[in-house]
Amino acid sequence: MTTSDQPKQWPPGYRINPREAGPTADIVAAFREIPVAAISDAIGRSVGTIGLQRYHAKLAEVLCGPAVTVRVRPGDNLMIHKALMMVQPGDVLVIDGGGDVTQALMGGLMRTTCVARRLAGLVIDGAIRDLVEWAEDGMPIFARGHTHRGPSKEGPGEINVPIACAGMAVMPGDLIIGDADGLVAVPAEEAEVVLGRARAGLEREARVRETNRTGTADPERFDAVLRAKGLPV
């Protein structure tokens, strides 16, 4: 093995891995048409972020794309700047900021970079600032909170490593989908199967919706559950 073939040795607290491609473009496009609630149902109703807020103003705006993950020291955005040099159009930047909201990790200047790089959106377990700019159309963003206090740029941090973001495990390349209801992560290798389950769930919902609309819902649907618990119906 030559010196150039040897694995790069990063100093403690730093690691920069290559970008993971994630699901194919047609799979990503298909998921953009599926509500997050339906995807959540398809993966067990127990996966997704907790406690993040939507900061883009348009309620119907959808975030969907493969994850580029970043782990930073709370209040420090050095490695976010590096990650923005590595992203491809359509990526979602997912940042583990430790849930800290005492210093903003990103503001309006970095939003300009995100727009220029044509990101599909951002998910930040930390704070942002310059809310008026983030509210504009074209860059969906979910974050833990906001503050006027700016970040440091000293490190350490890691890029494209497994992270936990607001209670959700995220691997580089996972498909991240977000809408007004919240956010979920779908492992890239499971995306096609989950897509099929989500579509089947929407078809079932359509049938139930029609029985609700027409007043023809079958009471046995819930009576059977009550009987199974030994309750009178």
pLDDT at residue 211, rounded to an integer = 87
Q: How far apart are CA 109 and CA 100, in angstroms?
A: 20
Fold for the domain defined by 8-199: Glucose Oxidase; domain 1 (3.50.30)
User: What pLDDT sits at residue 5?
Assistant: 53
Integer Cα distance of 22 and 28 in angstroms: 9
- Which token pair is 97? 């900021």
pTM, two decimals, is 0.91
Using DSSP's 3-state secondary structure scheme, residue 195 falls into helix
Q: Please give the C-alpha separations between residue 7 and each of 17, 208, 215, in angstroms, as whole numbers.
A: 11, 55, 65
Query: Block means of pLDDT (10 residues each) for the chain, length 233 residues?
Result: 59 93 96 97 93 97 98 97 97 98 98 98 98 97 98 96 97 98 96 97 92 84 84 82
Q: What integer pLDDT is reported at residue 7 of this predicted model?
A: 60
Contacts of 20 (CB under 8 A, 6+ apart): 66, 67, 160, 171, 172, 173, 188
